[in-house]
Amino acid sequence: MPAKVFWGSPRQTQLEERETLPAKLDLIIEQLNLRERVKDKRVAIKMHLGFNTGYSMVHPVFVRKVVQAIKDGGGHPFVTDNPSAVETAHMRGYTAETLGCALHPAAGLDDKWFYTQPHQFMNVSEFQIGGAIKEADFMVDLAHVKGHPCTSYGAAIKNIGIGCMTGTTRGQMHDVSHFAPYVFKDKIRDEAHRLAIRESCPYGAIVDDRSDPGGLHLHHYKCNNCLRCQAVADGAFEIQREAFMAFLKVMNVGAKLVLDTFAPGNTTFISLATQMTPLCDCFGFTGMAVLPDAGIFGSDDPVAIDHAVIDMTAQTPLIEANLPGMMEIVTREGHPWQWIHGPYKDPYEQLSHAEQIGMGNCGYELVDVLPFTEPDFKQDTYVQAVRS
C-alpha cells in the first residue's frame, strides 16, 4: 500500500497567515498524529543546524511548532546534531530559548558517546550511531531539502543516514567512493600524461595522491561527471558511476541502521523544501536558491517523503540565473540536482535501493493539507478591472 505523504504547498490563495507554511506545518503535525504518539517519550528532533553564517536551514519558527506539539503530547523533546553544529548553533539563532527545548550533540560533546552497530558495506565494517539517538524513544527527522555535491541532494534520509553518525563513521562512509580502484598506474604513460589528466579537470577534482606518489586522487564531491578527463586518460583514470552511487547507498544503509534502533511506529519525517541552495548546510554559508520553494512535507515513510520531494522539485525549473559562476549544467537528463552535481549521483536509483533494503516505499499518495484554489473572478458581481 502506498505511504501517505502530507504536503503543504508554498502557494497561497489569500495572503493570510493560515495559508503560510508554518500554519500548514500545524496541519501536517495533526495528520501525523504526533501529539498522540509521544506521551512520556524522550523525543530526538534530528536537524541539520548548519555551520558558520549559514541561514537557510529550518527556521526556529518551524522547530518551535514541532517542539510544542511534542510537549503538548506529554513528550520530552530535544534537538540534536553533530557536536560542532550544536556548539555554534546559537550563532544561527538556535538556542533553548528560541526552540523551546534543549540542544544535545548526537554523540556527546567529544563525539565519543556512541553505540556500535556491526554491518559490512564495502570498507565500512561498523557504524557508530550517536548515543543520544540510541537513548531516544522517538525521533522526528526534521530535514531541510537542498543540493549536495556528494549525493546531488540532501533531505530526510541523508539527515539521519549521515547525520546521526560519529565523525569517524561519517569519514569512512565518504570513503566508499574510493573502495573500487579507479587509477590504473600501469596505464599512465609518463609524468606528462599524469599531469595532463590532473590538469584536465577545471574544478580541481583531480589531485596528487598524498599516500601514493605518482598516483592520482579524485575528490568525488567536486566532480560533476563532465568526463573531460576521460578524453585524455586513455583508461588510466576512470570516472565510475558505481563509485558515486556507493555513497548514496551507504547513506541508505546508515539511515536503516538508525531507524532500526527505534521501535516500529516511533519515527516520523518532516522536510522543508525552501531556500534550496546548490550546496549542503554543512558548507557554512548560504548561496542563492536554485530551485523554487516546494513547500513542506510530512510522512512516516522516509523513502516516500524523499521520493515526493524529488518528484515535486523535478517538475519545477532550475533557476539558472542563480547558479554560481563556477557551476555548469553538464546534462539536462534526470533530476535538476543531477544537472549541476553530476548524472552519476542519481536520487531515483538511491531511493530504489532504499526500498530494496526495506526502509520504505517509493510509491506514495500525496495529500495536500490545504489545496490552492484559483480565485473565482467570474461571479455575477465581478467587475472588469479598468487597467487589465
Q: Pick the closer one to ligand SF4 by CB: 79 or 340.
A: 340
Q: Pick the closer one to ligand SF4 by CB: 24 or 341.
A: 341
Tell the smallest beta-carbon distance from residue 347 to ligand SF4 (Å).
19
Q: Pick the closer one to ligand SF4 by CB: 227 or 314.
A: 227
290's CB contacts (< 8 A; 6+ apart) are: 147, 276, 277, 278, 318, 319, 320, 322, 323, 336, 340
Q: Pick the closer one to ligand SF4 by CB: 218 or 251.
A: 218
Q: How does 156-176 read in b/e, with b if 16+ C-beta sit within 10 Å?
A: bbbbbbbbbbbeebbebbebb
Q: How does 123-133 read in b/e, with b if 16+ C-beta sit within 10 Å?
A: ebeebbbbbbb
Q: Pick the closer one to ligand SF4 by CB: 101 or 229.
A: 229
Residue 2: CB atoms within 10 A of its CB come to 12
Pairwise CA distance, residues 2 & 29, whole Å? 20
Q: Which of 230, 233, 255 is nearest to 241 (CA)?
A: 230
Pairwise CA distance, residues 276 & 279, whole Å? 8
> What φ, ψ does residue 189 adopt, rounded to 5°?
-65, -45
Tell the smallest beta-carbon distance from residue 197 to ligand SF4 (Å).
9
Tell the smallest beta-carbon distance from residue 159 to ligand SF4 (Å).
27
Tell the smallest beta-carbon distance from residue 91 to ligand SF4 (Å).
33
Pairwise CA distance, residues 359 & 301, whole Å? 8
Q: Pick the closer one to ligand SF4 by CB: 71 or 219.
A: 219
Tell the smallest beta-carbon distance from residue 336 to ligand SF4 (Å).
18
Interface contacts to ligand SF4, rule CB under 6 A: 200-201, 203, 205-206, 218, 223-229, 239
Tell the smallest beta-carbon distance from residue 319 to ligand SF4 (Å).
22
